[in-house]
Amino acid sequence: MLIIRPIRASDYDALYGIAVESGHGFTSLPVNEELLRSKIARAEASFIKHVDKPFDEGYLMVLEDMKTNEVVGTCGIEAAVGMEDAFYHYRLGTEVYHSQQISVRNEVETLTLCHDYTGAAELCTLFLKDDYRKGNNGRMLSRSRFLLLAQHQHRFGETVIAEMRGVSDDHGDSPFYEWLQHHFLGIDFVEADYLSGLGKKAFMAEMMPRNPVYVCMLPKKAQKVIGEVHKNTKPALRLLQAEGFKFRNYVDIFDGGPTVECSIGDIRSVKKSRLLTVSIGKMPHADHHFIISNTSLADYRASAAKLLVFDEHDNVVLSPEIAAGLMVSDGEQIRVLAM
C-alpha cells in the first residue's frame, strides 16, 4: 500500500536522495543539507499551524511504500508564494508600433520582469522514483494535492499555479538562459537555478534587465523554447490542463518554461471530490479506482483503492488495512476522487 503523508524529520536521508536523483532544473529541492532540513522543519510547522489566511506556509509531503517503509516520491503545495521572498516571472506581452506616415504597423513580443503571482498557491516538488512510475502512481501522487486543497481551501491562495520545467539538455544547459548569462548574469544556468532554490535571489533584482526585453532580439534557439516544457514534463502538463489549468503568458525567468494557473474553485478535481462516511468491514467488489484522503491536516493521509461508490448515498466501506493507513475510524469521513 502506498500512502501520502506529511514529511517529518526522520525523512531527511530519503529527501536528500530524491534531491540528488531529481537532477538539474528541479529548483525546489537543491542538494543542500541546511535547506532541505529547513524545508522539513517548515513543513512540520505548517501542518500544525493555525491559519486564518495563507501566508508563507509550505506543505511538503512524501509517498511511502508501507511494505518497505521506503519514501519513493514527494509532492507539495506552497500556500502563498512571494510573501517573504520575491517571486519572479517574465510576463509575455506585445508592444505595437504604428506609423500612418509610412503605412507600417509592427507588433513586437516583449518579456517584462514582474511579481504578478505574489500570493498565489503553488503546486510544487512533484517527484516519483523510477521503479514506481507505473500504473496510476504518478497520477495519484499529483492529484492527491487537490484533495488537500478541497478540504482546506482557506489555507491557500485563490489562484493556484504550477511552474513547468522548461527546455534544457542532459547537462542542465538552457538555450533560453544562454543570452541572459552572456549579457547580464555571468553565471551558468545550474548555479543560478541552485541559488534560486536556496532562496538567495538578491542577484536577480541586481542583475536582471529592468526594462522589457524584445523577444525578436533573442537568439532563435532561445525564442523557440519560450513557453515550451521539458520532454519529461509533458505528461504533468497534460494532467494539469485536464484539471483546467491554462497558460496565461507567464514564463520562468531562467529556462522560459510556462507557468499555468487555475482558480482554486475551478480545478476539476477540487469540484469533483466528495465527502463520504466510512464503514469498516469487508470491501465489496469494485471496478473503479479512487484517490482517497482523510480530512485531517496534521495527520493528513492519502492513498488509492478500488471503491464501490454510489451517487445516491454518501457511505463507503473500507477494509481495516486501508482505514488504518488513512488513520480513519468507523463513522468518520474521507474525501474521494475518481481516478
Active-site residues, by number, are 230
- What are the backbone dihedrals phi and psi of residue 258, each rounded to the nearest 5 degrees, phi first? -75, 150
How far from 16 is each of 57, 185, 192, CA to CA, in Å? 21, 28, 20
Which string of DSSP letters, residue by residue, matches 145-187? HHHHHHHTGGGS-SEEEEEPP----TTS--HHHHHHIIIII-S
* Exposed / middle / buried, residue 135 (Cβ in 10 Å: 0-12, 13-18, 19+): exposed
- What are the backbone dihedrals phi and psi of residue 224, each rounded to the nearest 5 degrees, phi first? -65, -30
User: Whole-angstrom distance between the N-terminal and C-terminal Cα of the chain?
Assistant: 16
How far from 139 is each of 143, 146, 307, CA to CA, in Å? 6, 11, 17
